[in-house]
Amino acid sequence: MALRLGDTAPDFTADSTQGRINFYDYLGTSWGILFSHPADFTPVCTTELGRAANLSDEFTRRNTKMMALSVDALDNHHQWTQDIEETQGAAVNYPIVADHDRKVAELYDMIHPNASEKFTVRSVFIIDPAKKVRLTLTYPAAVGRNFDELLRVIDALQLGDQHPVATPVDWRPGDDVIIGLGVKDEDIESKFPQGHRRVKPYLRYTSLPA
């Protein structure tokens, strides 16, 4: 069964490029991104894992840990990371799970038989410190993911956890945000003393620190 937003992310223990690893223990109190790729030694995946490695400081700044996964063997993972470092200019410093028995892929519904009966699709799960699924994305094998967008989503989720706000279309950190519908008009001034802009009764903007 597919995981839905708000579901508890399943825990698992598996072999990885950083040894035998337990998912919950690895995440600890951090946010997490679990993302699958169809196969090792493939061009799109090589660029993706390299991009993720290049952005590792940005994810760390957001208290977010990454973990990649495919159904290929651990030896392949280790060999492939050398290619990633050579071609993408960054060492992969997050674990890549070797899900050879497809247990994790099945837990997270990463294999879509109408796309491929063997390989995982490009699944993404953003998981919060309470181990709740906060975002899911599924890409086809031929389309690379946008890791800048994943950073943007994490920023928006963490902002929404701190303040009663939502983020409008194309929002970036530092842009105005939307005051949540649960905030009454009479409470806006106390919650947002920096001021606000009312467009419609249901559409009220304010600014927050980046």
99-137 in b/e form (b: 16+ CB < 10 A) is beeeebbebbebbeeeeeeebbbbbbbbbbeeeebbbbe
Helical H runs in 68-200?
74-88, 103-107, 147-162, 185-191
The distance from CA 52 to its chain's CA centroid, rounded to whole angstroms, is: 11
Task: Report the C-alpha gap between 37 and 42 in whole angstroms.
Answer: 9
Q: Is 5 left (phi over 0), alpha (psi -120 to 50) or beta?
A: beta
45 classed as catalytic: yes
Question: Both tokens of residue 183?
Answer: 């905030």
175 backbone dihedrals φ, ψ, rounded to 5°: -75, 160
Q: Which of 14, 27, 45, 133 is catalytic?
A: 45
DSSP state of 55: T
Question: Both tokens of residue 153?
Answer: 């989503």
Catalytic center residues: 45
